[in-house]
Amino acid sequence: KDLLEHLSWLRSLRDGCKELVVFFKRNHKLWFLLRRKVKEKKLRALVLTGDTRWGSALACLASVLAAESILFTIVSG
Q: What is the pLDDT of residues 33-60, one digit of tens each?
A: 999 999 999 999 999 887 766 778 889 9
Q: What is the pLDDT of residues 11-36, one digit of tens each?
A: 898 899 999 999 999 999 999 999 99
Whole-number pLDDT of residue 64? 94
Residue from 47, 45, 42, 51 nearest 11 by CA: 51
Please give the torsion angle defined by the CA atoms of residues 39, 41, 43 and 46, in that order, rounded to the nearest 10 degrees: -70
Helix (H) / strand (E) element for 35: namely: helix 28-40
User: What are the residue ranges spanned by the domains of the chain?
Assistant: 2-76
pTM of the model: 0.81
Give 36-72 as a 3 state SS string.
HHHHHCCCCCCCCCCCCCHHHHHHHHHHHHHCHHHHH
Percentage of residues in the chain having pLDDT higher than 70: 91
